[in-house]
């Protein structure tokens, strides 16, 4: 086990990237991460806006063309190993945007699901998913951070 994986075991930094969608999933992510009800900081799960210190990237919604390059850039900036979590039905399978993106997952303005843009490790269905499911999804990404295959 490396020093980095020990540090990550003791404090996991989660980054949220607003890629598109209706904001319902974004609100549930913020609810899961920051509300006193769940209080994830007591478990050393911290929300960060700095990709250089992030371990887990949460991506809710589809990816609009404006957010396509920023998402790829943010993904590249997060150090390996990292885990990407697609949050909500839009991110997992296109959901209400399916008719727009078609079978190949892209049109000129919207990209879905998120795995058509960057690799995804964990998928959380729901429209929007419950905060508990989002927390469990972030936890499912942890083995990858610890060096597990
Ligand atoms: S999954 Fe539902 S709540 Fe989440 S962004 Fe899509 S439409 Fe909105």
Q: Residue 105 has what pLDDT? A: 53
- Widest pairwise Cα distance in the chain: 47
Over range 129-148, report the average pLDDT: 80
Please state, in angstroms and as integers, the Cα–Cα distance from residue 101 to each residue in 85, 93, 139, following that order.
21, 10, 30
Report the nearest-CA residue for atom 8 of ligand 1.
22
Is 70 exceeded by the pLDDT of residue 102?
no
Angle between helices 131-140 and 24-34 (to 10 degrees): 70
Q: Residue 35 has what pLDDT? A: 87
Distance CA 142, CA 63 (A): 24
Candidate CATH numbers 3.30.160.150, 3.40.50.300, 3.40.50.12280, 3.30.1360.170; the one for domain 3-145:
3.40.50.12280
Which residues form the pocket of ligand 1, taking CB atoms under 6 Å from any ligand atom?
21-22, 24-25, 60-61, 88-90, 95-96, 127-128
Digit-coded pLDDT (tens) for 20-66: 888 899 999 888 888 888 888 888 888 899 999 999 999 998 998 88
Compute the distance from residue 149 Cα to the ligand 1 centre, in Å.
Answer: 30
Q: What is this structure's pTM?
A: 0.87
Distance of CA 24 to the CA centre of its chain: 14
Question: Encoding tokens for residue 46?
Answer: 């911290």
């Amino acid at each position: 086990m490396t020093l980095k994986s020990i540090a990550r075991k003791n404090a996991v930094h989660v980054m949220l990237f607003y890629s598109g969608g209706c904001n319902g999933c974004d609100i549930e992510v913020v609810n899961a991460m920051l509300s006193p009800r769940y209080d994830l900081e007591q478990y050393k799960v911290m929300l960060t806006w700095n990709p250089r210190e992030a371990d887990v990237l949460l991506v809710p919604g589809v990816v609009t063309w404006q957010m396509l390059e920023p998402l790829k850039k943010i993904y590249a900036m997060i150090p390996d190993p990292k885990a990407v979590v697609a949050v909500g039905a839009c991110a997992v399978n296109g959901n209400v945007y399916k008719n727009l993106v078609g079978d190949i997952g892209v049109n000129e303005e919207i990209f879905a699901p998120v795995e058509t843009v960057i690799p995804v490790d964990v998928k959380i269905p729901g429209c929007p998913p419950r905060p508990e499911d989002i927390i469990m999804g972030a936890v499912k990404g942890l083995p990858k951070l610890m060096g597990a295959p």
